[in-house]
Amino acid sequence: MSHRLALVLVVLGVWAAQAGPPDAQILDRADKALEEAKAAYETAREKNSVDGFVDAGFKLEEARIKYFVLQEIGSADKQKIAVDRLRAVNQLSKLIHDGKVAISGRAADAPAPGAGPAPGPATAPPSPPEPALAPAAAIPVDVSRRAPIPDPAKQKDAEKLLKELYKDQYAKKGPADRQALARILLDQARKSAADPVALWVVYREAQDVAVQACDVGTVVAAIDESAKVFDIDSMTMKVGALSAAAKNAKAPEDLAALADALDRLIQELMAADQYDAADKAASSALQYAKRTNAPRLIGRSTQRSKEVAEAKARFQAMKATLQTLARTPDDPAANLEMGQFLCFMKGNWDLGLRFIVKGSDAGFKALAEKELALPTSSLDLILVADGWYDQGEKEKLPGRRSQLLAHARELYASALPGAVALQKAKVEKRLEQIETAIGAPSSDAGTVNLFKLIDLKKDVLIGTWFQQGNGYMSKPGAGYKLQIPYNLPAEYDLSFTVERSGDEVILLGLVAESGTFAAVINPGWRAGFELLDGRGYGAQDDSTTTPRPPVPVGKPSIIKASVRRTSAKIFVDGAPVLSWEGGMKRLTPNSGWVGPNPKCPNIGTFNGNLLVTGVTLVPVLDPGKPLR
């Protein structure tokens, strides 16, 4: 071989290497990133660390990019591997998201809001009724090696035994009977973790029976819990199951539950970049919402359809960027595009900022570096918020502008408690300007800000309350209660933003279609409903109360009451604390806690100062009515 030919071959080899690694190398890099993400996830779980979950999410996003590219350019065998790996990526992504929310109470990966006074990104839409307080089956450490679906022949034996065990329940065919059976089966599944065949069959039966009753919460819970153990595509299964359940929808409440469940599923699909499926789900959600004639659902579903369409178009335009990142992970232009897509389109700032700091835009890069430095002082937070606010004001595209301003609002809100004098005035003015530009925070088309209705001259029921900063605080004493002047509808999500300063016990006075009831949250002892079958929560069984509910001291918490016609659930910072599904007539109030208007909620406290800074209502169908 001549020296010239050898030189040409060397040059061609260098050129080929620079043109991009073969699909085998992309797969190796993707698998390495996935393994690193799994290890980071386990470390975050052990340390209970939000930052650790964010690190795991960043590694997982690097793996996802490479697997997506393999689906586009890989050989047939590599494409098949990529599809399988993406199922594991999506499952791990959900576990990482749930881990973050459990610690912070903030859904960090919500999709972006659209233009105009549309929904903000900070909270998820109201949840459909879900039977989910009992622990699910054990979560395997390695999500890429979940158990296969058991052999059909073995399933038949387990199914026969199950139907013999619950013969009487299977014989009853009414919708309420089917719903009761579905929830019994789901509870049975949670006791069957040691037998994979039985576990799969019971989850499958719970799902099928729940579909027949259009019990959306049980359908979703059965699929989500089985996906933690078995190698299934949970999102595809939910699309099919919800479509089947829709055929059995009889009442507006059923349709509303379907629209809500699909909205949550759309968020999962968008997070996994499955935009075709998200588009179809958005069309179905809008169809169900229109059949309820509920403006809130119609408005939200219409807006979500627009968001999905825009995200789908943007993602299609991102394919070249993804290929560049798969081959050259440090490419500045590609990192900027990816970071902007995650932040401005998917609302995932935790991950998007990690890409932007490697990007080619100096302004965005500097802001991302400041925010990733985790500023804690009010002044530093305000400076970062100012930067994103200024970028938002200059932005011409409505969706991007909305997301930038929404993120600035979140930072301003974090800075507000420590801001003083002119800083505080500036932050409050900016928050008002952002609300005017893109709508109220953490809201959808039907959210009602009840906090603005409170008048301390008219709404104090017991004790003394006074204005403290941007909220209302009770003076120390034996018991204090504040009424919210709004007649609640039959079904709703009611959220209180509160801050404990010490030993406060929190009382929520709530309203059901059958009458009033209360939830007591005593972080030093236990939480329970008052009264259940005429008994106080201290006299109730352990199964109907929760020991030491986690309400922190010295920082805001969101306590949400999710009330439906047949159930009530209480969440603290997104974590379930109480759940009741035994009929609302069995919940009655302590006579001393009933306000002058039994349709109005109230919040009370014992043993100290409780600061209340927010009260918001999301009605399901009927909007309710303010007293004034």
Q: Are 275 and 243 contained in the same domain?
A: no
Q: Are residues 26 and 68 in the same domain?
A: yes
* 536 found inside a domain: yes
Is 392 a domain residue?
no
Rounded average pLDDT over 163-181: 91
Candidates 485, 432, 434, 496; CA nearest to 461 is: 485
Average pLDDT over residues 96-105: 69
Write out 304-365 in H/E/C secondary structure. Answer: HHHHHHHHHHHHHHCHHHHHHHHHCCCCHHHHHHHHHHHHHHCCCHHHHHHHHCCCCCHHHH
| Span 71-94, average pLDDT | 83
| % of the chain beyond a pLDDT of 70 | 86
For position 269, what pLDDT does the model report?
A: 92
The average pLDDT across 160-171 equals: 93
Q: Is the pLDDT of residue 91 over 50?
A: yes
Do residue 63 and residue 202 come from a single domain?
no
Q: Which residues of 93-130 are buried (b: 16+ CB within 10 A; e: fewer)?
A: bbbbbebbbbbebbbbbbbbbbbebbbbbbbbbbbbbb
Residue 21, pLDDT > 80, answer no
Identify whether residues 97 and 150 lie together within a single domain.
no
Residues 198 and 287 in one domain: no
pLDDT at 131 over 50: no
Rounded CA gap, 182 and 219, in Å?
Answer: 9
Identify the H or E element spanning 518: strand 515-521
Same structural domain for residues 217 and 241?
yes
Instruction: Express each pLDDT in 30-53 by its tens digit.
Output: 889 888 988 988 898 888 888 888
Mean pLDDT taken over the chain: 83
Domain final position from 104, 129, 164: 104
At residue 399, the pLDDT reads 75
Range 597-614 average pLDDT: 88
Q: What is the mean pLDDT of residues 467-496?
A: 87
Chain centre distance of CA 471: 26
How large is the average pLDDT for residues 188-194? 83
Specify the DSSP element, H or E, that contains 577. strand 575-580
Q: For residue 261, is it within any domain?
A: yes
* Residues 224 and 168 reside in one and the same domain: yes
* 483 pLDDT tier (thresholds 50, 70, 90): very high
Domain interval for residue 255? 249-309
Count of structural domains, the chain: 4
158 band by pLDDT with thresholds 50, 70 and 90: very high
The last residue of a domain, from among 278, 309, 340: 309
Task: Say whether both 189 and 300 belong to one domain.
Answer: no
Q: Name the more confident of 382 and 544.
A: 382
**Are 493 and 578 in a shared domain?**
yes
Clarify whether residues 233 and 261 are in a common domain. Answer: no
User: Band of the pLDDT at 593, cuts 50, 70, 90?
Assistant: low
| pLDDT band, residue 59 (cuts 50/70/90) | confident
pLDDT at 110 over 70: no
* 469 and 538 assigned to the same domain: yes
> Are 150 and 292 part of one and the same domain?
no
Q: Is residue 43 part of a domain?
A: yes
pLDDT digits (tens, 9 = 90+) for 195-247: 899 999 999 999 999 999 999 988 998 999 998 889 899 999 999 999 999 99
Kindly give, in sequence order, each residue whose CB lies less than 8 Å from that of residue 46, ignoring residues fewer than 6 positions away. none
Query: What is the pLDDT, as a whole number, of residue 609?
Result: 85
**Cβ(82)–Cβ(70) under 8 Å?**
yes
**pLDDT, average across residues 269-273:** 88
Report whether pLDDT(256) > 80.
Answer: yes
518 within domain boundaries: yes
Encoded tokens for 20: 């991009």
Percent of the chain with pLDDT over 90: 36
Q: Report the half-sphere exposure of 462 (CA within 13 A, side-chain side).
A: 18
pLDDT at 618: 85
| 154 within a domain of the structure (yes/no) | yes
β-partners of residue 64 are: none
Residue that is last in its domain, among 104, 132, 149: 104
- pLDDT of 143 strictly over 70: no
* The two structure tokens encoding residue 86: 């993406």
